[in-house]
């Protein structure tokens, strides 16, 4: 190799730069000076991702429809017909009607709980070991870090970073995610933790793990979980359905039981989701869980916020913030930006 | 030197950047969203870096690897310690570039080289995570992920290598007249990858 000496120097320099960046970012944690770089990444790649997502979404839907089939061989016939129908839908470009239905269900769910939402599309997903996705809404749409993200069926995750037109969401299945949860019809609370990369850690059907705080509280398979709600409703608003207890591990001699949760949301095929921009005025308790649909009037809060032109978060979130023990400096920086 | 001030060199550099950007965008908005069994997706960016390094040598390989890694660290859904991909891809680009000159030109060897590069890259990334105490890089997750990831990478590699060569082919011609040593792997690759997608 003729360039050994020079290329070694370059290699050394590049490796040193990489190591320095890792060190600075690792030691700095949440407020490391390199976060600015991520901001650059958001500004540069965000629009490109939005554009490319519009192009590739039909491809993803097709793959989705095909890979679903082997899961349910018993109903192969029905799925084949469904596949056929999906392809026809694709061909006649009636895809949007499907998404409108998703949105409608989403609005219904949000209406029952009294959440004010901002509908969004998933435009990209994280690489390597992390369970993150990007949404096509950002600070210009009133989205802020530490807001809950939900789908029509239940909890998706929380916003961790916001760019001008994109937002990064940490999914509930990520290992670093932990959510306060409550068993339905009881006051027993615990923590739901992710098990990594869409359940890669151990079996795809139960990518979440639940531990009760009270070791003696009754817990059985089939019980459902909703979010408990964080202090000040951030990052998690109360009452969002999470999933069903699938099985319970009782280690011999152990003090804690671990329940494995099958989530309501399918994390492998997220498309239409919603960012909760304002929490409900009262805790909806178990009302949002599926078989409690006494034909509520969802028009009051959710329907207007579904319109894209509206800025729904303005007033109620402002009220909420006052009693939410947010830092005063936080408010002053946030208010002007939500007005533009 | 590799980046001598020649018109073909700048053209090639531009094309390299373009290829990397396209690979990144495809990675986050297509590949990562495929609901593949096991929840793992092929690492197109790593494959692109390996292919570029095998064709163009170690200097291009490591610079391209570093830049691609840095971009992968800051592209929106990324949520890991900044610099990890830059470190890993830079090293992989360098090693693959070195290996390209000593590689036996049998038809299967470049394939194995890509697989080895994918394995090394995946393991190295997981190791950096473990060293930083990243809870996502726990042993149970990594031990399940790595074999599947390498399998997907090997399946995807002919397509990626073929695409990269197609895109950069024009700018290798100018180099062949100038430098014989580098053109040999490139020509072999071209011949191999012509068959690749048909397999």
For B83-97, write each residue's pLDDT tens digit.
899 999 999 999 888
Query: Poorest-confidence range of A1-10, A26-35, A146-155?
Result: A1-10
pLDDT at A46: 84
Q: What is the mean pLDDT of chain B?
A: 78
Looking at residues A7-11, what average pLDDT do you find? 85
The pairing of beta strand A148-150 with beta strand A224-227: unpaired
pLDDT at B3: 46
Tell whether the model's pLDDT for residue A149 goes beyond 60: yes
pLDDT at B195: 45
- In a mutagenesis test of the A interface, which of B61, B76, B129 is the best target, namely the one with the most A β-carbons within 10 Å? B76
- Please count the other Cβ atoms lying within 10 Å of the Cβ belonging to residue A255: 7
Question: Would you identify the CATH topology of the domain A94-283+302-307?
Answer: Thrombin, subunit H (2.40.10)
Tell whether the model's pLDDT for residue B67 goes beyond 90: yes
> Could B29 and A6 be called an inter-chain contact, meaning their C-beta atoms sit closer than 8 Å?
no
A77-89 b/e with 16+ CB inside 10 Å = b? eebeeebeebeeb
pLDDT at A329: 38
The winner for highest mean pLDDT among A148-162, A240-254, A292-306 is: A148-162
Tell whether the model's pLDDT for residue B33 goes beyond 90: no
Q: What is the mean pLDDT of chain A?
A: 74
Looking at residues A140-167, what average pLDDT do you find? 89
Query: In DSSP terms, which residues pair with A258 in a beta bridge?
Result: A211, A249
Query: Is B184 part of any domain?
Result: yes
Greater confidence, B172 or A254? A254
Residues from chain A that touch B37, judged by Cβ atoms under 8 A, are 67
pLDDT at B29: 85
> Could A197 and B145 be called an inter-chain contact, meaning their C-beta atoms sit closer than 8 Å?
yes
Q: What are the boundaries of each domain within chain A?
A: 94-283+302-307
In tens, the pLDDT along A228-248 reads 888 777 888 888 889 888 888
Query: Poorest-confidence range of A66-70, A106-110, A119-123, B73-77?
Result: A66-70
Number of domains in chain B: 1
Q: Residue A131's pLDDT band (boundaries 50, 70, 90)?
A: confident
pLDDT at A295: 40
Show the domain range for B174.
9-26+39-198
Q: Give me the total of CB pairs closer than 8 Å, taking one residue from chain A and one from chain B.
A: 210
Nearest CB among B36, B81, B87 relative to A15 is that of: B87
Provide the CATH number for the domain around residue B69: 1.10.1760
A267-288 b/e with 16+ CB inside 10 Å = b? bbbbbbbbbbbbbbeebbebbb
pLDDT at A65: 60
Tell whether the model's pLDDT for residue A21 goes beyond 70: yes
In tens, the pLDDT along A168-221 reads 999 998 888 889 998 887 778 899 988 876 655 455 677 888 888 887 788 888
- In a mutagenesis test of the B interface, which of A129, A172, A204 is the best target, namely the one with the most B β-carbons within 10 Å? A129
Task: Nearest chain B residue to A199 by CA: give it.
Answer: B39
Report d(CA B168, CA B182) in Å as an integer: 14
In tens, the pLDDT along B120-155 reads 998 999 899 888 888 888 888 888 888 888 888 888
Q: Are A284 and A112 in contact (CB under 8 A)?
A: yes
In tens, the pLDDT along A64-118 reads 666 655 555 556 667 677 777 667 666 655 556 667 777 778 777 777 777 888 8
Least Cα separation, residue B137 to chain A (angstroms): 7
Give the Å distances, CA to CA, from A335 to A12, A123, A316.
Answer: 46, 27, 13
């Amino acid at each position: 190799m003729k360039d050994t000496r020079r290329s070694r120097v370059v290699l050394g320099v590049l490796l040193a730069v990489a190591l320095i960046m890792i060190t600075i970012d690792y030691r700095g944690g949440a407020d490391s000076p390199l976060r600015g770089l991520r901001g650059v990444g958001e500004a540069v790649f965000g629009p490109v991702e939005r554009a490319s997502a519009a192009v590739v979404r039909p491809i993803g839907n097709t793959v989705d429809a095909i890979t679903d089939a082997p899961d349910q061989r018993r109903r192969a016939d029905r799925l084949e017909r469904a596949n056929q129908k999906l392809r026809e839908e694709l061909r006649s470009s009636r895809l949007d009607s499907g998404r409108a239905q998703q949105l409608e269900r989403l609005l219904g769910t949000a209406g029952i709980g009294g959440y004010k939402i901002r509908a969004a599309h998933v435009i990209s997903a994280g690489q390597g070991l992390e369970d993150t996705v990007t949404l096509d809404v950002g600070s210009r749409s009133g989205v802020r870090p530490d807001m809950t993200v939900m789908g029509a069926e239940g909890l998706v995750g929380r916003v961790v970073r916001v760019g001008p037109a994109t937002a990064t969401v940490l999914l509930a299945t990520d290992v670093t995610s932990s959510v306060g949860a409550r068993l339905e019809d009881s006051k027993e609370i615990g923590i739901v933790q992710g098990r990594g990369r869409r359940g890669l850690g151990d079996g795809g059907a139960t990518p979440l793990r639940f531990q009760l705080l009270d070791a003696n509280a009754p817990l059985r398979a089939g019980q459902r979980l909703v979010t408990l709600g964080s202090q000040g409703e951030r990052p998690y608003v109360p009452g969002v359905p999470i999933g069903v207890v699938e099985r319970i591990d009782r280690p011999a001699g152990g003090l804690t039981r671990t329940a494995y949760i099958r989530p309501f949301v399918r994390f492998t095929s997220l498309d239409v989701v919603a960012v909760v921009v304002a929490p409900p005025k009262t805790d909806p308790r178990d009302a949002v869980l599926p078989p409690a649909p006494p034909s509520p009037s969802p028009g009051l809060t959710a329907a207007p916020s579904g319109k894209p032109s509206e800025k729904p978060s303005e007033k109620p979130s402002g009220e909420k913030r006052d009693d939410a023990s947010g830092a005063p400096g936080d408010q002053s920086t946030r208010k002007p930006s939500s007005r533009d | 030197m590799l980046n001598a001030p020649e018109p073909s060199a700048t053209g090639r550099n531009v094309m390299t950047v373009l290829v990397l950007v396209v690979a990144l965008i495809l990675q986050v908005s297509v590949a990562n969203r495929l609901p593949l069994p096991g929840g793992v997706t092929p690492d197109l960016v790593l494959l692109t870096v390996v292919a570029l390094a095998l064709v163009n040598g170690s200097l291009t390989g490591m610079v391209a690897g570093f830049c691609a890694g840095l971009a992968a660290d800051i592209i929106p859904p990324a949520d890991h310690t900044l610099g990890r991909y830059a470190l890993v891809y830079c090293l992989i680009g360098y090693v693959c570039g070195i290996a390209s000159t000593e590689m036996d030109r049998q038809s299967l060897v470049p394939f194995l080289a890509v697989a080895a590069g994918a394995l090394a890259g995946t393991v190295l990334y997981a190791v950096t995570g473990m060293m930083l105490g990243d809870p996502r890089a726990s042993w149970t997750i990594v031990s399940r992920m790595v074999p599947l990831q390498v399998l997907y990478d090997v399946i995807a590699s002919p397509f990626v290598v073929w695409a990269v060569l197609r895109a950069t082919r024009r700018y290798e011609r100018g180099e062949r007249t100038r430098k014989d040593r580098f053109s040999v792997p490139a020509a072999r690759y071209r011949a191999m990858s012509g068959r690749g997608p048909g397999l």
